[in-house]
Amino acid sequence: MRIATWNVNSVNARLETVTRWFEEAQPDVACLQEIKCVNEKFPAEAFERLGYNLAVHGQKSYNGVAILSKTPLEDVRRGLPGDDTDEQARYLEAVVSGPQPVRVASIYLPNGNPTGTEKFAYKLAWMERLRRHAEELLGYEEPLALVGDYNVIPEDRDAEFPKNWVEDALYQPESRAAFRSLKWLGLTEAYLQADGAPGAYTFWDYQAGAWQRNNGIRIDHALLSPQAADKLRGVSIHRDVRSWDKPSDHVPLVVELDL
């Protein structure tokens, strides 16, 4: 089973690019972030024609997450538990049916900039909610993949120019510590387990020639439960997609599990 995660930076604005990648890569499951549309405006037909079942948790103009699967989706949860007042569409969870079902979550973690504001406080509070929910999910003792745009640069090697990010919320000690505490629940970071080579970035800003200078960062991650990590066969970053017409500033990360 190939599980992809991709922040598409507006699914409708980049539909041709996104569907081209789906046609070429043929993921079994794909978790999308920053779809930037309400549920009714998601281009469902384009993906249904490619054989995908859909679950969408959208929001007008901002945020929004989706899960697409070649097999039916069950037990769909929209929204991260822990704050009933949170209206931002950043978390979607479902069980992918099959001979061995796997629970997946599409995560668009808050950016948190600028630091020292309520946006950074929201980021850290959201990460704590995610940690608590992940702890509950791990109690199910089932294959679990928490994938998405985490908006965290875990270590220095995950940025081409770390000094450029020292004031950014993605690189703050609190953000990195919260990410570590999530992993320490017993989750395996798929890329580090399968490869781990530095310089494997998933995001390049549109500005200042970042792509051309390889001024990238690794902020899209896949965290696996022990039951999923035991089945890990490989991880690939589809770097070339960043050079296509009308690209997202992120590229797909694909995890292969022997399920």
Is there a catalytic annotation at residue 108? yes
| 200 vs 253: CA distance, rounded Å | 10
Amino acid, res. 173: P
pLDDT for the residue numbered 10:
98
> What would the DSSP string read from start to end of 62-109?
S--EEEEESS-EEEEEES-TT-TT-----EEEEEEPSSS-EEEEEEE-
Token duo for residue 15: 């539909």
SS3 assignment, position 187: coil
C-alpha torsion angle, residues 227, 102, 59, 172 (rounded to 10): 10
Which of 28, 52, 57, 149 is flagged as catalytic? 149
Query: With contact defined as beta carbons under 8 Å apart, do 58 and 39 qualify?
Result: yes
| 179 vs 134: CA distance, rounded Å | 12
Binning pLDDT at 50, 70 and 90, where does residue 208 land?
Answer: confident
| 106 vs 65: CA distance, rounded Å | 6
Q: What is the pLDDT of residues 125-143, one digit of tens each?
A: 999 999 999 999 999 999 9
- Average per-residue pLDDT in the chain? 97
For residues 148-169, give the mean pLDDT. Answer: 97
Enter the DSSP assignment of 4.
E
Q: What is the pLDDT of residues 165-180, one digit of tens each?
A: 999 999 999 999 999 9
- Which parts of 79-198 are beta strand (E)? 91-96, 102-108, 144-149, 188-189
Q: What is the pLDDT of residues 32-46, one digit of tens each?
A: 999 999 999 999 999
Which of 52, 91, 108, 201 is flagged as catalytic? 108
User: Which residues does the annotation place in the binding site for Mg(2+)?
Assistant: 7, 34, 149, 151, 249-250
Element (H, E) at 55: strand 53-57
Third-level CATH fold of 2-257: Deoxyribonuclease I; Chain A (3.60.10)
| 249 vs 9: CA distance, rounded Å | 7
pLDDT at residue 148 is higher than 90: yes
| 1 vs 73: CA distance, rounded Å | 14
pLDDT at residue 198 is higher than 90: no
Is there a catalytic annotation at residue 238? no
Reported as half-sphere exposure (CB side, CA atoms, 13 A), residue 57 has a value of 23
| 134 vs 145: CA distance, rounded Å | 10
Q: What is the pLDDT of residues 62-78, one digit of tens each?
A: 999 999 999 999 999 99
User: Which residues does the annotation place in the binding site?
Assistant: 7, 34, 149, 151, 249-250
Is there a catalytic annotation at residue 250? yes
C-alpha distances out from residue 33 to 51, 137, 138, Å: 20, 21, 23
